[in-house]
Amino acid sequence: MNFIFRSVYRLRPISFRRNMSFDYPKIRRDEKVADSYFGIGVSDPYRWLEDPDSEETKAFVDAQNNITRPYIDSCPYKESIKSRITTLWNYPKHSVPFKHGNKYYQYRNSGLQNQSVIYVQDNLQDKGEIFLDPNTLSDDGTIALSNTSFSEDGKTFAYGLSASGSDWREIKFKNVDTGEDYPETLKKVKYSSMSWMHDNKGFFYGGYLNQTGKADGSETTSSEHQKVYYHELGTDQSKDVEVVEFDDKEIRIGAQVSDCGTYLILTPIKGCKNYLLYFARIDPNETITKKLELTPVVTKFEADYEYITNVDSKFYFRTNKDAPNYRIICIDFNNYSESEWGTLIEEDPKNVLDDAHVINNTMLVVTYLKDVQNTMHIFDLTTGKKLHDFQLDIGSVFSISGKKHHTEMFYSFCSFLTPNTIYRVEFEGDSIKETVYHETKVGDLDASLYDTKQVFYKSKDGTDIPMFIINKKGFVLDGSRPCLLYGYGGFNVNLTPSFSVSRLIFVTNFDGIYALANIRGGGEYGDKWHNGGRFDKKQNCFDDFQSAAKYLVNEKYTSADKLSIQGGSNGGLLVAACINQAPELFGAAICQVGVLDMLRYHKFTIGYAWKTDYGCADEEDQFRYLYKYSPLHNIKIPEDDGQYPATLLLTADHDDRVVPLHSLKFIAELQHKIGSLPQQKNPVLIRIETKAGHGAGKPTTKIIDELTDIFCFISRALNLPFSA
């Protein structure tokens, strides 16, 4: 029997009082705080909440958690919900194997371990042994592995550690043969690539070594003037050499040693789109003692350039330069004038060239995005001719491993109903042999009990928007089922099919529907899709999402009072803007780590980098459209005595990506303007996590607790029974 339907009995629905009032904390408003933007006065009465260290802010956080916690904890299904999530989460999870030196490595999680463990194998038949277990680094799992890098000979392992979800990293080095760490630790590392010289001693990283004040993830100050440093293995960080810097304080610098080992490729970026391109010649036999001499190739922020590989001086890049769906170009670093650039793989007029990976010396593994689903092919690196098509189901290629000189590669594939499947591909002459290396089993999950489909609906301006819908087979369109609608819509991010236990729990145990809308602002259809949701076109994202809600109601998948919406980060902005603009469309809203003050976001931590998607209130034309939708500044009393949907904000004290002040100020304003209305019976609450950040590296226990609280909130707010 299926894991959900084994010994099924439906609990008798427990009726909650949805029409109830809340005694929200009394919050000080400082009406004297205001800014003037181009002649328009904008008040900011809760600016004091921007100081995370003040006693008043700490008291505010405690007061908010003290009303949220009882509401969530009183859900009668809480233990059943947590038990079901825990049970279904408890399945073995494996990454693709990756080979370095003469050994294979793989991330594994037995099921409920807080952090995945790296195992090492001498060959693929070995069971393997533990190489690095981050669970031993903290009692609560809040120290996580971030980016990692092996030296070219595979004998040294550089690994970054993040504490409490912060973007700050400390880099350590491990001797692969002995298992011992080298004595040095590199600190104040952030937004950094990691790349080794081919002498296996020199190491490049990016850092903010001159930053003063706190650097633990709880600060709100911006990190500026990143520099690239050269570190020699076995020496103290104080001896590291500053090798690359730029005058612009907002630039972050990608630095990658070429496959041949004689170039350092530099891709400076100022925002979240469009790179510069420089290179420096390096000699792996010489120690670097001073700044590198840079050669500029691209000096204007106009396009993306993603290094793939090089053959001697000919370098191959994935780019959207004159190609909104991306292409692969060749630049000869001995003759790098743009007029001399060549194209290896032309832009596809319909499908987005999503990724390229070199393998077997002369082969390019290229993935495309076709209507939000991956296809994968092999091309000849010399001629650009297609050599092979992989036969993929509807879903996503999640990761690919293998180096240029390897004659094998691994890739993982998943879909909404198919957990991670790992394939091994072997190359022998002209032969390409593909086998299943590992299939993930999730309890007794029976995927045949569910349906997944993709629909296209019309947005406000007539644009066709794709949306995936998951439901039980035999589902009847009568508008009676709850629905959870998810969206993001920004920063060229693609939301492709992926496996999630929590989605299936919502579909099965709440007898619901899950919908994922691929709205504009993402990269699902290349630059045109991204640009359709940037700058003054951001309203398209909100229109697309609201149109998704209307479609689901009109087609009788659900009803407005049973429709929950969810989004995080930029998706949190999406959710908050939509409940401001059309509160009547939704029954509940889950707004996670959202960007909610669009007039001041750029003043905190990495916020300045988002100006390439949002614009900036310091510019008059951009201020005017930001002010129109900024969630903090557009909370309005609904018409016709309506009310806001039940709303839960989530943030965390070490989120140094989207700092908590966004959520704190928004909930304060929301409770002041909306929570005090006599007709507002739906709760507007916030959950503030400790020792957690934006999401990356979050331990399993915290993930399960958060999912439990979200489902409990939805269950209580919408009076939804949970069947065990």
Dihedral sign of CA atoms 83, 84, 88, 89 in order: negative
Tokens representing residue 114 in the block: 């807080």
On whether the CB atoms of residues 264 and 279 are closer than 8 A, the answer is: yes
User: DSSP characters for 612-660?
Assistant: HHH--TTSHHHHHHHHHH-GGG---PPSTT--PPEEEEEEETT--SS-T
Q: Rounded to whole angstroms, how far apart are CA atoms 413 and 583?
A: 38
Catalytic status, residue 676: no
On whether the CB atoms of residues 162 and 699 are closer than 8 A, the answer is: no
| C-alpha to C-alpha distances, 307 to 266, 301, 358, 374, nearest whole angstrom | 10, 16, 11, 21
Q: 3-state SS of 667-715?
A: HHHHHHHHHCCCCCCCCEEEEEECCCCCCCCCCHHHHHHHHHHHHHHHH
Residue type, 689: E
DSSP, collapsed to helix, strand or coil, labels residue 66 as helix
DSSP state of 448: G
Q: Rounded to whole angstroms, how far apart are CA atoms 610 and 633?
A: 19
DSSP, collapsed to helix, strand or coil, labels residue 29 as coil
Please identify which residue in the block is written with the tokens 């973007």: 167
- β pairing state of 386-389 and 684-689: unpaired
User: DSSP characters for 149-165?
Assistant: EE-TTS-EEEEEEEETT
On whether the CB atoms of residues 683 and 646 are closer than 8 A, the answer is: yes
**565, containing H or E segment:** strand 563-568
| C-alpha to C-alpha distances, 140 to 113, 115, 204, 218, 702, nearest whole angstrom | 10, 10, 31, 18, 9
Catalytic status, residue 655: yes
Q: 3-state SS of 199-237?
A: CCCEEEEEECCCCCCCCCCCCCCCCCCCEEEEEECCCCH
Q: Residues 6 or more apart from 77 whose CB is under 8 A from it? A: 11, 14, 712, 715, 721, 722
Residue type, 61: V
Burial 668-701 (b: 16+ CB within 10 A, else e): bbbbbebbeeeebebbbbbbbbebbbbbebbbbe
- β pairing state of 156-163 and 227-232: unpaired
242: exposed, middle or buried (C-beta count within 10 Å: 0-12, 13-18, 19+)? middle
On whether the CB atoms of residues 365 and 354 are closer than 8 A, the answer is: no
On whether the CB atoms of residues 563 and 526 are closer than 8 A, the answer is: no
Catalytic status, residue 662: no
Residue type, 652: A
Q: Which of 167, 655, 656, 709 is catalytic?
A: 655
Which parts of 419-524 are beta strand (E)? 421-428, 431-439, 450-458, 464-472, 483-486, 513-517
| C-alpha to C-alpha distances, 242 to 147, 209, 237, nearest whole angstrom | 21, 10, 11
Please identify which residue in the block is written with the tokens 């916690």: 69
DSSP, collapsed to helix, strand or coil, labels residue 126 as coil
Q: Which of 259, 602, 694, 715 is catalytic?
A: 694
On whether the CB atoms of residues 663 and 651 are closer than 8 A, the answer is: yes
Q: Which of 218, 412, 569, 715 is catalytic?
A: 569
On whether the CB atoms of residues 663 and 112 are closer than 8 A, the answer is: no
Q: Rounded to whole angstroms, how far apart are CA atoms 611 and 628?
A: 16
List residues with catalytic annotation.
Answer: 569, 655, 694
